[in-house]
Structures are given as structure tokens and as C-alpha cells.
Amino acid sequence: MGQLKPSAWACARFGTMAADLLEAIPVALRRAHRRALASHVEMGFSTNEAYGLIWKALHEELVSAIGDHSGVRRTKPKGASYELVVIGEHNVILYPWRYGDDAHTRVEDKRMRLSEVRNNLLTLNPESPEPQLTLEHAELTEDDLASLFEEERRDAQSMASAGRAVVLAYASNPDAGLLRLFWGDAEKADEDGYLRWTHLEEISLRAADDGTDAGGIGARPLVPVGPDTAAGRFDQAPLEEPVLGVRPPLTSPDTDPTATPQPETGSDA
């Protein structure tokens, strides 16, 4: 397979490593997906909790794929259980984000849950206030505390030295597999987690094709169904005829007297 040609933006961000990243990143994502899918199948949950750990697997796979390359260093954010890779002379941090589980939703319309690490990366302002003691710190000696705070200070300086963060936004699920992959420049638009993308481009997942399956356990389509595809649209089915009848007295127009009462539910997701 020939090497993919990076865009002018990618070359500006990553220099001579741009083409290598276009191939390495999809491969790392494929490996992370297979790990998460194996956990999902083995655990047998009816929900996607086990698969949801793909984010942590991807951090590890990115470090494994490119962390030892010349011109790449690693940094561990304060309080994080994972490492990030920092690339090139411009010190660009790659930060993966699973923005969705379908191929239809626009990445620009999704909100990111803003942790301290994500806030620091998106604003590139990792300077933190003076260290605050916690209950866990009470069990440490003064020397241990000094060592811990010094490590946190070095982490902050390491992140501060990065020129910018490039977000790797991807969509996947255990049924359909890998769906979309993008990278670009983003900054925090508001406190609700919406991002302002100043540049966004899609990375082909074909670069991850190593002859093994990276789909899911189901058979859902990997791309949106268009009007010219063989599958019918939802509004092409015949409409059901409404059943009309006499409403019993003393019932409101929107009440079914034979229905079982249902509790009110809601979601802030």
C-alpha cells in the first residue's frame, strides 16, 4: 500500500512525520477497537460499558505505535492514568476523543466532557494553582509530598511546552466497528463542552486495513444510507390507518383508559 499524501495543514503541524501518522493512527485505532470489542464480548454486558474503555486502549496503542519514534516524546498529564505523545519540533500533543457511536452525527455538533486535562489541552494553559492537600496526602511523609508535587510541576511544564493540541476525533461502536476518524485544531467554545474547530479533516480508515476484521459483532451499515441505496427510507413505508372509536366519558383526549401507567423518565445525556 502506498503512503498516503498528507495535507498542507498536516505537514505544517507534524512536518516530515505527517505521512507516517496518517498510517499509524488508524492502525492504533484498529488495535484499540479490537481490544475493546474482545472485552465487550467476553464480559457479555447488555450495555457498552466494557467497550467504552476503548479510549484508554487507544492512548496505549498510540504510545506503542509512535511513542518511540525519533522526534516524539511522551508526557503524562497530572492525575491521569495514561500517557500522551508530543510530536515534532512544534511540540504538538495528540489527544484522542471518541465523539460518537454512529457515522451520521457531525463531529462539530458533539459536546466534549471537559475534564481538567481537556481544559488545559484545549486552552493550552496548564498552569495550575498552588498544590492543595487532600486526605490521601495525609498518609505521605514530607519527602513523599515534595516528590509528588515536584512531579506534578514537571507534568505541567511538559504540557505547557507543547505548542498546541491536535484532537483525534473518532466514532465507533461494538456492533458496526470503526466508523469515522478526524483530526484537527479545536478550542473550547463554551462551558457546555462545544468545541470551535478552526480546522478539521477526515482520515481514511483504509490505512488501518491489515487484512483482519475491524468491524463489529453486528451487521449495521458503516456509512449513512443515502436516497439512492437499495434500503428504503423510513417514510416510504405504507402508513397505518388510524383506528377511530368513541371515547369513554370523563377521560381526557390524551389519555388511554386501558393503558398501564408509566413512570416519567428523563435523561440529560
Res. 246: pLDDT tops 70: no
Q: Across the chain, what does the average pLDDT equal? A: 75
State pLDDT tens for residues 194-210: 999 999 999 999 755 55
Residue 180's closest CA among 217, 212, 211, 221? 221
Task: Examine residue 167 and state whether it is found in any structural domain, yes or no.
Answer: yes
Task: Examine residue 225 and state whether it is found in any structural domain, yes or no.
Answer: no
Rounded distance between C-alpha atoms, residue 57 and residue 96, angstroms? 11
Q: Work out the average pLDDT over 87-106.
A: 92
Query: Which cell numbers in the block locate residue 247?
Result: 371515547
pLDDT, residue 188, reads: 87
pLDDT, residue 221, reads: 38
pLDDT, residue 44, reads: 85
Most confident range, picked from 136-140, 151-155, 204-208, 248-252? 204-208
Task: Examine residue 117 and state whether it is found in any structural domain, yes or no.
Answer: yes
Cβ neighbours of 23 (radius 10 Å): 17
pLDDT, residue 20, reads: 93
Task: Examine residue 223 and state whether it is found in any structural domain, yes or no.
Answer: no
Rounded distance between C-alpha atoms, residue 127 and residue 160, angstroms? 7
Task: Examine residue 57 and state whether it is found in any structural domain, yes or no.
Answer: yes
Task: Examine residue 30 and state whether it is found in any structural domain, yes or no.
Answer: yes
> With bands split at pLDDT 50, 70 and 90, how would you rate the model's confidence at 19?
very high
Task: Examine residue 260 and state whether it is found in any structural domain, yes or no.
Answer: no
- Containing domain of residue 75, as a range? 8-124+162-208
Say if CB 191 and CB 118 are below 8 A apart.
Answer: no
As for how many domains the chain has, the answer is 1
Task: Examine residue 75 and state whether it is found in any structural domain, yes or no.
Answer: yes
